């Protein structure tokens, strides 16, 4: 049974160009040492069946594995359609890490033997994304927000994963929207919001993070401390770059 047939058997339909890219990728992996390999058709069918029984996984197709019970899955539908997430057997975090299969395939082509943590990821994104990517991320963010607002009775783990995804795709230009989740009642959501504010070096969050250090959940307190350290480090980097800028200009022979 082909890859396409396995997917169609489970009512999963991917674009033709994506399927073609996956098949080419599989051929290139044959006989090579890789850290992430595409699942065989049989493995794919079995994985789809067991994941479909778990609510948070129901829109995800596992495509790659490291052969240590970890997978890279593709969202087959919904606001996150065609983005990729990492399925860790120890801790569930289904937020997107790659915009599409082509992005991961390109990264694996350059770094076939690197561990997952060493690979360059698309999310959380920096300020260097294109206008089209920015528009797509904002649209996805708004759609996820609408789902969360529409269903106030969803299970806690489903809500948590949706918020993980929403926060992960939030572009730098809208990072202030993450402040809403710093005092969330779910300590995992609070933890993630703090960490992402630190990742983006969002200085206006400093006082709020200090309050979390004092009064937040156990997870939130630790994350807030780390976030404050990350923000201070980014501030220091900016000062150093600003201090060195005239010197660099002089060395380059540029008059200021």
Tens place of pLDDT for every residue, the chain, 256 residues?
Answer: 899 999 999 999 999 999 999 999 999 999 999 999 999 999 999 999 999 899 999 899 999 999 999 999 999 999 999 999 999 999 999 999 999 999 999 999 999 999 999 999 999 998 889 999 999 999 999 999 999 999 888 999 999 999 999 999 999 999 999 999 999 999 999 999 999 999 999 999 999 999 999 999 999 999 999 999 999 998 887 778 777 765 544 444 444 3
Cα distance between residue 190 and residue 142, in whole Å: 20
Query: What is the per-residue pLDDT for 19?
Result: 96
* Span 150-171, pLDDT tens digits: 988 899 999 999 999 999 999 9
Query: What is the per-residue pLDDT for 238?
Result: 77
Backbone angles phi, psi at 63, to 5 degrees: -115, -40
Mean pLDDT of the chain: 92
Query: What is the per-residue pLDDT for 255?
Result: 41
* pTM beyond cutoff 0.85: yes
Query: What is the per-residue pLDDT for 67?
Result: 94
| Tokens found for residue 123 | 């999310």
Every domain of the chain and the residues it spans: 1-123, 126-256
178 neighbors 193 (Cβ within 8 angstroms): yes
201 neighbors 235 (Cβ within 8 angstroms): yes
Cα distance between residue 56 and residue 50, in whole Å: 12
Burial of 240 (0-12, 13-18, 19+ CB in 10 A): exposed
Rg (CA), the chain: 21
| Tokens found for residue 252 | 């380059």
Cα distance between residue 58 and residue 53, in whole Å: 7
Q: 221-228, long-range: CB within 8 Å, 24+ apart, which pairs?
A: 222/191, 223/190, 223/191, 223/192, 223/194, 223/195, 223/198, 224/194, 226/194, 226/195, 226/198, 227/194, 227/195, 227/197, 227/198, 227/199, 228/198
Helix count (H) and strand count (E) of the chain? 9, 5
């Amino acid at each position: 049974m082909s890859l396409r047939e396995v997917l169609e058997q489970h009512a999963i339909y991917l674009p033709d160009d994506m399927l073609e890219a996956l098949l080419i990728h599989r051929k290139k992996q044959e006989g090579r040492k890789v850290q992430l390999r595409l699942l065989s058709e049989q493995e794919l069918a079995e994985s789809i069946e067991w994941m479909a029984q778990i609510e948070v996984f129901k829109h995800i197709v596992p495509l790659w594995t490291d052969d240590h019970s970890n997978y890279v899955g593709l969202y087959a539908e919904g606001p996150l359609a065609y983005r990729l997430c990492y399925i860790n057997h120890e801790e569930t975090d289904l937020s997107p890490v790659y915009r599409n299969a082509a992005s991961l395939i390109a990264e694996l082509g350059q770094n076939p033997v690197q561990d997952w943590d060493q690979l360059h990821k698309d999310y959380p994104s920096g300020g260097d994304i294109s206008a089209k990517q920015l528009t797509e991320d904002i649209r996805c963010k708004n759609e996820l927000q609408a789902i969360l607002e529409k269903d106030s009775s969803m299970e806690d783990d489903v809500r948590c994963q949706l918020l993980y995804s929403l926060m992960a795709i939030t572009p730098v230009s809208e990072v202030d929207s993450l402040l809403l989740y710093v005092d969330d009642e779910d300590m995992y959501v609070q933890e993630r919001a703090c960490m992402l504010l630190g990742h983006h070096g969002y200085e206006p969050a400093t006082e709020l993070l200090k309050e979390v250090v004092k009064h937040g959940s156990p997870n939130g307190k630790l994350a807030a401390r780390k976030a404050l350290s990350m923000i201070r480090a980014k501030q220091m980097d900016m000062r150093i770059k600003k201090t060195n800028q005239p010197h660099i200009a002089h060395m380059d022979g540029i008059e200021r």
